[in-house]
């Protein structure tokens, strides 16, 4: 799938890979894994049965982006960001 197609819009019924989701949300793919493990607002995903690949449904990605992405940045010692 081309970058132009991802930026134009997401098809709600289609499944997207980690790289495609990262391009759509404008974050690094490592940040996608952080969003999956986020305690307050985890990014919903499904695992493909054949090879345990992580996939995201289009409607989940658009809803996650519309509700606001979690704050980015590293956690520092002492709780100060």
Q: Strand order of the sheet with strand 15-16?
A: 15-16, 54-57, 46-47
pLDDT for residue 6 is more than 60: no
Q: Looking at the domain that runs over 3-69, which CATH code has it been given?
A: 1.10.1660
Greater confidence, 2 or 81? 2
pTM of the model: 0.76
Written as one string, the DSSP assignment of 24-71 is HHTS-HHHHHHHHT-SSSPPP-EE-TTT--EEEEHHHHHHHHHT-PPP
Greater confidence, 1 or 74? 74
């Amino acid at each position: 799938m081309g970058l132009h197609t991802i930026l134009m819009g997401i098809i709600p019924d289609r499944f997207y890979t980690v790289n495609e989701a990262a391009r759509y949300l404008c974050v690094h793919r490592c940040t996608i894994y952080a969003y999956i493990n986020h305690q307050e607002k985890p990014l919903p995903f499904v695992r493909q049965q054949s090879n345990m690949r992580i996939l995201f449904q289009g409607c989940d990605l658009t809803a996650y982006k519309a509700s606001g992405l979690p704050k980015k940045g590293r956690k520092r010692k002492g709780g100060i960001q």
